[in-house]
Amino acid sequence: MSPSPVILILGGGKNVGASVAKRFAGQGYKVALVARNSQSTTNSENSMTISADLADADSLSHVFDRVEQKFGTPNVVVYNAASVKPVPRDDPLQLDVSDLNNDFAVNTASVLAAAKRAIQGFAKLPSEMNKTFIYTGNLLNIEVMPALVSLGIGKSATAHLVKTAAQAYGAQGYHFYYADERKADGSAAFMDINGPNHAEFYYELAEDKQQRPWWQTFVGGQGYKSFPVKLA
């Protein structure tokens, strides 16, 4: 008998994180949410919240341990946290190294830590169980927005990390995705990020038995879309 499906959501905000939690819970998943400002409490038999600062990659070990002790090994991990220190768009090199390091820790270094623990867990799960890691991205891995340079550095680095993992671990049945919501015309959805859209699409990815292209651009819950790449 296969264990119950478990999703771990790193970055449990009120929009995407909460929507993803609700969607997966409705499908019988046990849900663990991680947020920096949450109290570390267990809410119910099938859901829990954990307080952790994802600027500290070492905190991921404690997070995964807590989830495994309560629910078992997560077969779906969603990394939804992000950090950015805005700078003047006409002078982006005003960015302090210390601010870059903090943002990079959240946007990339802790993603690596989470992915490492995720695949350690995936290896323990039954072969017939889907195993999926999803990173909430945007178009900053290809576009330049000077005021958001630290976020763009992190998204670019993590896109490379996700692509590498998808290629390296695909044969083992581990699926990795960089998920990038867009508007219908292919432009960024920064000001119109839709939590239910992410929830629907993330559930679709998690339930797919096959690895799709590692970079998933999507509009609403409509699935993968191919947008022309524009390099600014």
Residues with active-site annotation: 155
Crossing angle between the packed helical segments 149-169 and 97-104, to the nearest 10 degrees: 30
